């Protein structure tokens, strides 16, 4: 969550957005980083979920059925962020969740900057929860 904008260098904040895929599939609660500078508003999908999202889109194929997909059932990070968003009143719980999210994101950034593919894969697996 401490990531700086690649365009203007301002702080970026992680928010959840609904993303449309091929105008038919609504993917709910995708974590994206948005620049806090009003003149920039640069937006990008959080690195750590990019693979999960790519996989999901590949599985949907080029001509998907009209549907809604809850990304928080696919991605642990998204799930944690949804939990956080639902804890507006309880500051302590929210802080604990935010700490966990920050820790995982920091570790992923570190693995990424070291170019450690194995570690990145491991962290992604930790972040990915398969719901059966
Ligand atoms: Zn910016």
Cα 35 to middle of ligand 1, angstroms: 5
Instruction: Evaluate if residue 21 carries a pLDDT over 90.
Output: yes
* 32 contacts 14 by C-beta, under 8 angstroms: yes
**pLDDT at site 128:** 54
Cβ within 8 Å of residue 58, ≥6 positions away:
none
Question: Can you give the pLDDT at residue 29?
Answer: 93
Domain ranges of the chain: 12-127
Integer Cα distance of 131 and 120 in angstroms: 21
What would the pLDDT profile of 53-78 be if each residue is shown by its tens digit?
998 999 999 999 999 999 998 887 88
pLDDT at residue 2 tops 80: no
Predicted confidence (pLDDT) at residue 85 exceeds the cutoff of 80 = no
Q: 33 C-alpha to center of ligand 1: Å?
A: 10
The arithmetic mean of pLDDT across residues 22-42, rounded, is: 92
113 pLDDT above the threshold of 70: yes
| Ligand 1 centroid – CA 37 distance (Å) | 6
**C-alpha–C-alpha distance, residues 65 and 102, integer Å:** 35
Cα 9 to middle of ligand 1, angstroms: 6
CA of 2 to the centre of ligand 1 (A): 13
**Mean pLDDT throughout 100-105?**
78
């Amino acid at each position: 969550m401490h990531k700086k904008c690649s365009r203007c260098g301002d702080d970026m904040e992680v928010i959840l957005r609904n993303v449309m895929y091929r105008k038919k599939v609504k993917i709910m609660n995708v974590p994206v980083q948005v620049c806090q500078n009003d003149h920039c508003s640069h937006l990008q999908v959080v690195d750590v979920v990019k693979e999960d999202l790519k996989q999901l889109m590949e599985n949907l194929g080029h001509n998907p059925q009209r549907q809604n997909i809850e990304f928080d059932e696919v991605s642990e990070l998204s799930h944690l962020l949804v939990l956080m968003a639902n804890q507006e009143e309880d500051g302590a719980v929210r802080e604990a969740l935010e700490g966990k999210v920050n820790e995982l994101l920091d570790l992923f950034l570190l693995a990424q900057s070291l170019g450690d593919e194995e570690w990145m894969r491991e962290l992604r697996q930790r972040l990915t929860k398969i719901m059966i």
